Amino acid sequence: MSEHTITVAGVAIDTRHWIGGERVASTQTFPDVSPIDGSTIGDICRGTAMEAAAAVAAAKAAFPAWAATPRAERARILHAIADGVEKRIEELAIVETTDNGALLRSHRRGVMPRVAHNFRFFADWLLSLEHEDFETRGHTNHVSWDPAGPCVLITPWNAPLMLATWKVAPALAAGDTVVLKPAEWSPLTASLLADIAAEAGLPAGVLNVVQGYGSEIGDALTSHPDVRRISFTGSVPTAKRIAESAAANLTPLSLELGGKSPLLVFADADLDLAVDLAVEQYDNAGQVCLAGTRLLVEEAVAEEFTRRFVQKASTLKQGDPRDEAIDIGPNIHPRQLEKIDGFVQRAVAAGARAVIGGQRGDGQYYAPTLLTDVAQDSEIVQEEVFGPVLTLQTFTDEEEAVRLANGTRFGLAATVFTGDPDRAERVTARLVAGTVWVNCFFVRDLQAPFGGSRLSGVGREGGTWSFDFYCDVKNTVTAPSGWRNHG
């Protein structure tokens, strides 16, 4: 076995970068630590500006041939990648659970199947991508989507492979080449994806994977003049640095950032449904950008809602995410745990009451927490915690509900529970959010636009919106008949 190979539950993983169809080592490494028990999984090659330049050069060299590859062939290869993912779902699931602490059962049943679906969906959408020709004073307008060039895709640690392939799949389908930079806290499944893509016949240089710290390799990637698209999912401060870096080259950006999403419960709602889905906001230890972390409940039912919520939340089991009986695993990193606890302790010191939770468990586990008696302008209501921490506020009417819901700098998602369809229509029309769910949560279709408003992001991806971003959209206008043969 190579010195650059580590094993997780019997799965061999190469810790080197994947550049131009070859494994490339670095002189330095960084430790990859499992949040489950704090053990070091292995040392990962730590990229610098040198690896960034090599990866972009490989993507640039591979671009002309991949861009010229017929749509049907690109789609065939993407389906082959999906086949490879499906053959290795169990391996991918256990590796990612070990790496980021999310539930193994979720990876097996939902997350990894979605990874394969990402490739299949965008392969099929590519084959149907078209805009009907239209006439202007007898001239024909024809809209086409031309591949843009090398793309840098920077992905987060909370759903590493699923969110990476949400970007990789449409970029490859569009005819672009890719440099993928996974989060340093969860890099392993990106390395496995490189293997799967190569086995599926993806040409060398079309997908490159580089690992490392954002300050050392990320800046070199986002400021590179040969990069034609940057897509990033992560925090607002990092997005601002990326935007500054990309500005010198006017590189187009797609940014999916933080959330502080409201979950509104009106008195006429199905309270059992509302409670069940409110408790679901603790999924993935609260490390979900779309989570409805601000519970806004009409005063008339607030006491009953809270009673049922506490009863339901008390049944959650927290522990080793590899155990099928566990509902909540650990938080990703000691630094993230410190951040979560800091938010909670400052809120309590300011007068908030912890109805449940409010403290750490052993290791990197934080108890599911619900805070009441919080002010709208307080830090705990205004800032993203990204942990298993919810707040509960009450409202008296629709006007106050909408005011509270829209009362942050974010606008990623919102959830509304009501038994009145007219109210649902009125309220959702006024909510500032990229996605609104009514009497449901986390129903996602890849053909729908996805993104945020305000500080929750820039741009939309999904379906044709993804191709609009990853391509240069061209309109060709042709004059009416009158062609002449000059031969």
Element (DSSP H or E) covering residue 231: strand 229-233
Does the active-site annotation cover 440?
no
CA distances from 36 to 43, 112, 165, 234, 340 (A): 17, 20, 24, 22, 17
Whether the CB-CB separation of 326 and 381 falls below 8 Å is answered with no
83: left (phi over 0), alpha (psi -120 to 50) or beta: alpha
319: left (phi over 0), alpha (psi -120 to 50) or beta: left
219: left (phi over 0), alpha (psi -120 to 50) or beta: alpha
- Structural tokens at position 61: 């060299």
Looking at residue 80, its amino acid is A
Distance, in Å, from the CA atom of 452 to the CA atom of 435, rounded to the nearest integer, reads 8
Pick the closest to residue 388 from 259, 287, 243 (CA basis).
Answer: 287
137: left (phi over 0), alpha (psi -120 to 50) or beta: left
Distance, in Å, from the CA atom of 65 to the CA atom of 175, rounded to the nearest integer, reads 9
Whether the CB-CB separation of 29 and 15 falls below 8 Å is answered with yes
Q: Which of 51, 184, 256, 461 is catalytic?
A: 256
Q: Which of 45, 51, 184, 289 is catalytic?
A: 289
Whether the CB-CB separation of 115 and 209 falls below 8 Å is answered with no
List CB contacts of 282: < 8 A, sequence separation 6 or more: 313, 316, 327, 328, 368, 388, 390
**Cα atoms found within 13 Å of the Cα of residue 246, Cβ hemisphere only:** 23
Distance, in Å, from the CA atom of 96 to the CA atom of 35, rounded to the nearest integer, reads 11
List CB contacts of 480: < 8 A, sequence separation 6 or more: 138, 139, 140
Tell the burial category of 113 from Cβ atoms under 10 Å away from its Cβ (0-12, 13-18, 19+): middle
List CB contacts of 403: < 8 A, sequence separation 6 or more: none
CA distances from 292 to 87, 265, 307, 356, 471 (A): 34, 11, 19, 17, 33
Whether the CB-CB separation of 370 and 310 falls below 8 Å is answered with yes
Does the active-site annotation cover 256?
yes
CB count within 10 Å of CB 271 equals 18
The per-residue b/e assignment along 306-327, b for 16 or more CB within 10 angstroms, e otherwise, is bebbeeebeeeebbbbbeeebb
| Residues annotated as catalytic (active site), given as ranges | 256, 289
